[in-house]
Amino acid sequence: MVPYIAVITAMLIWAGSGIAVKEALVLLSPLQLVVVRFTIAVILMLCVGLLASGQLKLQKLERGDWWLFVLAGIFQPFLYFILETYSYKLFATPTIAEAFLSTNPLIAPIFALIFLRERSGWLTWLGIIVSTAGMLLLVLAGSDNFEVGNLWGVPLALVTVCMAASYSILLRKIPSKYTSLTIVFWGQLIGLILFYLVYGVRCMVYGGENMVQCMVAGEQLIRSLCGVGYLGIFSSVAAFVLFCYSVRSIGVVTANIFNNVRPVFTALLMLCIFGEQLPLGKWIGIFVIVLGLFICQKQRKN
DSSP state for residue 92 in the 8-state scheme: S
- Rounded percentage of the chain residues whose pLDDT exceeds 90: 35
- Report which of residues 38 and 147 the model is more confident about: 38
State the pLDDT at residue 65.
93
Q: What is the distance, to the nearest Å, from the Cα of residue 258 to the centroid of all Cα atoms in its chain?
A: 12
- Measured CA to CA, the distance from residue 84 to residue 194 in angstroms comes to 16
Q: Give 106-132 pLDDT, tens digit per residue.
A: 888 888 888 988 887 888 888 888 888
Query: What residues form DSSP beta bridges with 149?
Result: 91
3 close to 249: Cβ distance less than 8 angstroms: yes
Residue 33 vs residues 30, 150, 227: alpha-carbon distances, Å: 5, 20, 10
Position 231 confidence tier, pLDDT thresholds 50, 70, 90: very high
Q: Pick the closest to residue 33 from 43, 42, 44, 22 (CA basis).
A: 22
**Residue 213: other Cβ atoms inside 10 A:** 14
DSSP state for residue 149 in the 8-state scheme: B
State the pLDDT at residue 74.
96
Q: Give 160-173 pLDDT, tens digit per residue.
A: 999 999 999 999 99
Q: Give 177-187 pLDDT, tens digit per residue.
A: 999 999 999 99
The total number of structural domains in the chain stands at 1
Q: Among 186-190, 231-235, 286-290, whose mean pLDDT is lowest?
A: 286-290
Q: Give 232-260 pLDDT, tens digit per residue.
A: 999 999 999 999 999 999 888 888 888 88
In the 3-class helix/strand/coil scheme, how is 129-145 assigned residue by residue? HHHHHHHHHHHHCCCCC
Computed over every residue of the chain, the mean pLDDT equals 84
Amino acid in position 202: R
State the pLDDT at residue 10.
95
Name every residue whose Cβ is closer than 8 Å to that of residue 117 and which is 6 or more positions away in sequence.
none
Q: Pick the closest to residue 121 from 112, 17, 172, 134 (CA basis).
A: 112
Give me the domain span that covers residue 178: 2-301
- Measured CA to CA, the distance from residue 108 to residue 188 in angstroms comes to 21
> How many CA atoms lie less than 13 Å away from 296 in the CB half-sphere?
30
Residue 69 vs residues 90, 136, 169, 212: alpha-carbon distances, Å: 30, 34, 12, 32
What mean pLDDT comes out for the span 215-233?
80
Sign of the Cα pseudo-torsion (108, 234, 160, 115, in order): negative
